[in-house]
Amino acid sequence: MFRRECLLCQSRTLAEVIDLGMHPMADTFIPASRLSDADRLYPLIVDLCESCGQIQLRTVTKPSERYAEVDYSYTSSNSATSRRHWTEYAEVVARETGLTAGDVVVEVGSNDGFLCAEFQKLGCRVLGVDPSPAMAELARARDVATVTGLFETRSLEDVVSRLPARPRLIAANNVFNHSNDPLDFAKAVQQTLAHDGTFVFELPYWANLVEQGTFDQIYHEHVTYFTVTYAVNVFKAVGMAVVGAALVDYHGGSIRVFVRHKADPSTCSPQLAAMVETLMAREKGDGLFEESTYVAFRGGVRRRRDTFLERLYHLVNDGRAVACIGAAAKGNTFLNYYKLGAGTVACVTDASEHKIGKYTPGTRIPIESDAVLARYDRLCAILTSWNIAGALRKNLATINPRIEYLNPYGDHEAS
């Protein structure tokens, strides 16, 4: 089923941004026991609402298929980089929002509970909400109370009934963009948050994606693609206000947005408050809400693909082995769009025990530990987890110092 209307303003004036072809769920890694099962493939097409500037996927997919049919494999604590980020996040957000010991924190999309546990260390009472049964179990093993389900108005009673008080902080990181109904998600925040509370969310920034050409951050789990302008519009529609924003060096460039009830006169620090207008002006200046901008964007994505594949197949014909580093959702968008399978890529490596031994969706490449790279004398590596490229290269240098790195994404790769 296709979306024919904007999820925010219901306009039908939708213009195509890019069509990446047929893709499986990018964050669903396949266990060996289900290797012969066929993937469900859906058109991965992004549209721009020419009326309000909202950016969304055309194809409608079910949350149950994304998070519950196969055990969800992404964990928010899967790398030292991630753990440092979320520890710092808890400290910064607690300071900016004035959290004190005993305050209630709800994290939507709480995953394995790592961030909730960081807020617990600060003396807060926490509750996680996550649709993945597998992730909820990992969170409970951390002693993080977790409701298994979606955060939406029709299921709020199950969340609110578990709270000792209204939350002074609701956090939602890399999850707001997963909602099939962002207006309902915003309404659920408005109905749950304490009158003096703050909603803070963080996710990849669409402006960075367009500037860098990082199409691989597009996948079926990401239903909408955020600008600050869009955030202001969606919360205005439910009677709330964006009071602060910040650029964050995570996932290749993210935005962190602070939202409060309009009746709450308090605001963020002057720097965060000023950044709202600054980023909205940048978005307009970059032409992010104009169809013409995306002619160049999709042309650049296709040219980079063609140039890279020509080079890659030359190296393969010369006897080089190829491996991808990082079993990431964005890596699966890359592999499926470039049509690279197990016949070309020997393996994808990862450090997560929840991914090793599984296979990539659509392309069926085995996922192994980084240690297997030591066996190759002539190896070309593609950093599919390019957002942590520096840490990966440092680690891999101790395993195989002879690796030649290939960069299919352009000049944005971290060093």
pLDDT by residue (tens digit) across 262-295? 877 777 889 999 999 999 999 999 999 999 999 9
pLDDT computed for residue 264 by the predictor: 77
**Per-residue model confidence (pLDDT) at position 123:** 97
When pLDDT is averaged across residues 117-138 and rounded to a whole number, the result is: 94
Q: Where are the domains of the chain?
A: 80-285, 315-406
Structure confidence by residue, pLDDT tens digits, 90-109: 999 999 999 999 999 999 99
Q: Any idea what the Cα angle at residue 300 is, between residues 280 and 254, rounded to 5°?
A: 35
Q: Is the pLDDT of residue 172 over 80?
A: yes
Q: What is the pLDDT of residues 107-121, one digit of tens each?
A: 999 999 999 999 999
Q: Above 50 in pLDDT, residue 411?
A: no
Give me the numbers of helices (H) and strands (E) for the chain, helices first please: 12, 16
Percent of the chain with pLDDT over 90: 85
Alpha carbons within 13 angstroms on the beta-carbon side of residue 396 total: 28
Under the banding of pLDDT at 50, 70 and 90, the label for residue 71 is low
* pLDDT tens-digit series, residues 285-325: 999 999 999 999 999 999 999 999 999 999 999 999 999 99
Domains 80-285 and 315-406 share a fold: yes
In the predicted model, what is the mean pLDDT of the chain?
93
| CB 237, CB 8: distance < 8 Å | yes
> Which element (helix H / strand E) includes 55?
strand 55-57
pLDDT greater than 60 at residue 413: no
| pLDDT of 141 | 94
Query: Nearest CA to 113 among 89, 154, 146, 81?
Result: 146
Provide mean pLDDT across the span 69-89.
77
pLDDT score of 266 = 77
Mean pLDDT, range 28-47, rounded to an integer: 94
Report the amino acid identity of residue 210.
Answer: V
Per-residue pLDDT band for 69 (boundaries 50, 70, 90) equals low
**DSSP-assigned states of every residue in 69-100:** TTT----TTSSHHHHHHHHHHHHHHHHHHT--
Domain 80-285 part of CATH 3.30.565.10: no
Distance of CA 375 to the CA centre of its chain: 33
The CATH H-level (homologous superfamily) assignment of domain 315-406 is NAD(P)-binding Rossmann-like Domain (3.40.50.720)
Q: Is the pLDDT of residue 415 over 80?
A: no
Mean pLDDT, rounded, for 254-264: 92
pLDDT band at 396 (very low <50, low <70, confident <90, very high): very high
Q: Which residue has the tokens 């790195």?
A: 405
How high is the pLDDT of residue 410? Answer: 57
What average pLDDT does the segment 129-150 reach? Answer: 92
Residue 30, sorted as left (phi over 0), alpha (psi -120 to 50) or beta, turns out to be beta
Q: What is the pLDDT of residue 70?
A: 62
Instruction: Answer whether 76's CB lies under 8 Å from 38's CB.
Output: no
β-pair partners for 14: 49
pTM here is 0.92
253 has a pLDDT exceeding 70: yes
pLDDT at 73 over 70: no
